[in-house]
């Protein structure tokens, strides 16, 4: 059990993940790349901010905004 | 008594832990991995945010959001 | 798949990008340079802050203000 | 007088300490381990958050939440 | 295109720049020196904080307060 | 004049100092030890938080909470 | 023009400076010492916090509280 916490997300590369930001926004997308700061490169993205939904082909999230993340 | 504080949680790996976030959310889950920033990989997770409860199979919490943590 | 997250934006150099700041402002411009902190040099910039729109020929954004970014 | 500030707490290991968090919560417990970030491992813990009191056998406090601390 | 983002401002040394702070204040002045944290030494400065305007011959801005900056 | 700013407080070791925290609390006590982060070990302490006064024999203040400090 | 931004303040050592804090407080005093974090040792100090004025013979300001600073 010498896993690193980031492996929880790393093994989801190429699959969809759910991200919750500190400001309450929720983001789902296909995880393309990540690093130890939790900077994330997502593709085919949907962002939910309160009642508003937006779509984006590609999104780079700055890791310090992230509350938690899950493989979907 | 040369324990490190993180050992309080490290010895709970494979068991359930309780996490309280700075934003007031409460999370319980089985601790799979942790690091010195308190980044946590949890499994079989329940998140309580005010009146709302959510479940997640796998959750990666960014450590800087954590207020405190306990083995259950 | 050994991409770094920042490559999501790096490959948009010379093209237009969309930036959302933590304070809610939205910025679009042509990406001239970026670094690992997400400090960004944009040209031909439009800033939307609530109902207010401003234009700028050149803008340096301090990276710690960024929520997320997208190639347009 | 070449003491380090952390020695104020270090010499209380095995004894009860009082912790005040930045969010106003007050915590008392037996200090089992600490580090230079003020991450704390407490045992036999009582947490007071406004009118609410909770108990915990073991608690790991992330040091960046701490306002100040005292031996009891 | 191996520019660094800070070069957007560095090439404005000796000329006037516009600075917007995270707290909403707006500052213009002649840029005398800058560093990688975006600490800035300005001369012949005008500060606009809401309805209030102030002038200063010399101003050192601590870089972590900066939202973005532009050559004027 | 090659003094370091921290020497303003360092030379007050063994004497009483006044501390103002970012949250508005005011603390006086005898300075026993300090470090470069401004972590402080005080003895014979009085804490004023609004209308409330508390006393403590020993107090460790986490330096990142400090606004400014004075020898008394 | 290889000045560092901090030189804007450094050359004011022994003279009076004006400091504005992130919390809105304004401080003037004779600058005795400073470092790269903008920790400042001031003497013969006047602090203005809203309608309240206070004086202090010696003041150590923790640099992370500073918005900007000027020689007077």
Interface confidence (ipTM) of the complex: 0.95
Residue D66 confidence (pLDDT): 98
- Look at residue B64 and give its three-state secondary structure: helix
Closest CA of chain D from B54, distance in Å: 23
Give the model's confidence band at E3: pLDDT under 50 very low, under 70 low, under 90 confident, else very high: confident
pLDDT exceeds cutoff 60 at A31: yes
Closest CA of chain E from C43, distance in Å: 9
Structure confidence by residue, pLDDT tens digits, B15-63: 999 999 999 999 999 999 999 999 999 999 999 999 999 999 999 999 9
CATH number of E7-71: 2.30.30.100
pLDDT exceeds cutoff 90 at A53: yes
Closest residue to A5, CB basis, from B14, B21, B34: B34
Q: How far is CA E13 from the centre of its chain?
A: 10
CA atoms B36, B41, B46, B47: torsion sign: positive
Strands A52-61 and G66-71 turn out to be unpaired
Enumerate the residues of chain G whose CB falls inside 8 A of the CB of residue E57. Answer: 70-71
Name the more confident of E11 and C2: E11
Nearest 10 degrees: Cα torsion F19, F24, F25, F30: 0
CB contacts < 8 A, A to C, total: 60
Closest residue to E59, CB basis, from G7, G63, G70: G70
Give the model's confidence band at D3: pLDDT under 50 very low, under 70 low, under 90 confident, else very high: confident
- In chain G, which residue's Cα lies nearest the Cα of E27? G68
Question: How far apart (Å, rounded) are the C-alpha atoms in residues A12 and A20?
Answer: 16
Q: Which residues pair with E42 in a beta bridge?
A: E31, E59
CA nearest G61: which of G70, G45, G53? G45
CA nearest E66: which of E45, E43, E37? E37
pLDDT exceeds cutoff 60 at A1: no
CB contacts < 8 A, F to G, total: 60
Contact indicator for C56, C2 with CB cutoff of 8 Å? no
Segments in chain E forming alpha helices (H): 7-10
- In chain G, which residue's Cα lies nearest the Cα of E65? G67
Helix, strand, coil tally for chain G in percent (to 5): 10, 55, 35
Interface test with G, best of F28, F68, F70 (most G CBs within 10 A): F68
Closest CA of chain C from E37, distance in Å: 9
Residue B55 confidence (pLDDT): 97
Helix (H) or strand (E) holding A7: helix A7-10
Residue C38 confidence (pLDDT): 97
- In chain C, which residue's Cα lies nearest the Cα of A59? C70
Half-sphere exposure of A15 (CA within 13 A, CB side): 11
pLDDT exceeds cutoff 60 at A61: yes
With 0-12 / 13-18 / 19 or more C-beta atoms within 10 angstroms meaning exposed / middle / buried, residue A33 is: buried
Closest CA of chain D from B5, distance in Å: 5
Q: Which two tokens stand for residue B57?
A: 């199979």
Residue C29 confidence (pLDDT): 98
pLDDT exceeds cutoff 80 at G2: no
């Amino acid at each position: 059990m010498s896993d690193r916490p980031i492996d929880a997300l790393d093994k989801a590369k190429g699959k969809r993940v759910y991200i919750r930001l500190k400001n309450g926004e929720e983001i789902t997308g296909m995880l393309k790349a990540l690093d130890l700061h939790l900077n994330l490169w997502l593709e085919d993205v949907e962002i939910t901010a309160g009642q508003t939904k937006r779509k984006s082909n590609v999104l780079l999230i700055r890791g310090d905004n992230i509350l938690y993340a899950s493989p979907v």
